[in-house]
Structure 1
Amino acid sequence: MLCYLSAFLVISLNVQKSYSSNIEYDGSVTIRLQHALVASEDPVFTDRGNVTVHSLRLGQATINQRPLSPDEQLQLRDLAAKNHFYQLKSIVTANDGSQKTFLSTVKACMLAESELDDRLSVSIDYMGRVIAVTSIIASKSTCEGAVVSLEKLKHFTTSVYVRHTEPGPIPDTASYIQKLEREREAKEKGEVKDNRSFLAKYWMYIVPLVIIMVVSSATNPDAQQGSQ
Structure 2
Amino acid sequence: MYNTVFLTLLTFNVVYSSNLEYDGWATLTLQHALEDVANPVYTDRGNISILSLRTGSHNINQEPLSPSDITKIKELSASNKFYQLKSTVLAADGTVTIFYSSVKACMLAESELNDILSVSLDYVGRIIAVTLAVASTTTCEGAVVPSSNLKEFRTTVFVRYTDIGPSPDTASYIQKLEREREAKEKGELKDNRSFLAKYWMYILPVVIIMVLSSATNPDAAAGGGGNGGGR
TM-score (norm 1): 0.73
Match of 1:124 among 108, 121, 124: 121
Alignment-mate amino acid for residue 176 of structure 2 = K
Does 2:38 align with 1:41? yes
What per-residue deviation string (whole Å, max 9, x for no partner) do you get for residues 89-136 of structure 1? Answer: 100111122111111111111111111100001111112111111110
CA shift in 2, pair 1:84/1:193, >3 Å: closer
Match of 2:141 among 123, 144, 158: 144
Which residue of 1 is the match for residue 207 of structure 2? Answer: none
Does 2:26 align with 1:29? yes
Task: Give 5+ residue unaligned stretches, structure 2.
Answer: 1-8, 204-231
Alignment-mate amino acid for residue 50 of structure 2 = V
Which residue of 2 is the match for residue 54 of structure 1? Answer: 51
CA shift in 2, pair 1:190/1:40, >3 Å: closer
**Separation in structure 1 between the aligned mates of residue 136 and residue 30 of structure 2, nearest angstrom:** 21
**Separation in structure 1 between the aligned mates of residue 71 and residue 198 of structure 2, nearest angstrom:** 83
TM-score (norm 2): 0.72
**Separation in structure 1 between the aligned mates of residue 137 and residue 70 of structure 2, nearest angstrom:** 20
Give the alignment's Cα RMSD to 1 decimal: 3.1
Does 2:69 align with 1:72? yes
- Contact 1:86–1:106 (CA<8 Å) still a contact in 2? yes
**Separation in structure 2 between the aligned mates of residue 198 and residue 146 of structure 1, nearest angstrom:** 73
Alignment-mate amino acid for residue 45 of structure 1 = Y
CA shift in 2, pair 1:17/1:184, >3 Å: farther
Shift of 1:150: 1.1
Which residue of 2 is the match for residue 107 of structure 1? Answer: 104
- 4+ long deviations beyond 6 Å: 15-21, 198-203
Amino-acid identity (%): 64
For the residue of structure 1 that corresponds to 2:177, the secondary structure is helix
Which residue of 1 is the match for residue 229 of structure 2? Answer: none
Does 2:172 align with 1:175? yes
What per-residue deviation string (whole Å, max 9, x for no partner) do you get for residues 50-92 of structure 1? Answer: 0111222222222111100122112211221222211111001
CA shift in 2, pair 1:82/1:16, >3 Å: farther
For the residue of structure 1 that corresponds to 2:37, the secondary structure is coil
**Separation in structure 1 between the aligned mates of residue 176 and residue 98 of structure 2, nearest angstrom:** 49
**Separation in structure 2 between the aligned mates of residue 18 and residue 202 of structure 1, nearest angstrom:** 56
CA shift in 2, pair 1:65/1:189, >3 Å: same
Count residues in correspondence. 192
- Contact 1:120–1:158 (CA<8 Å) still a contact in 2? yes
Q: Which has the higher contact order (CA 8 A, sep 6+)?
A: 1
Task: Give 5+ residue unaligned stretches, structure 1.
Answer: 1-10, 208-228
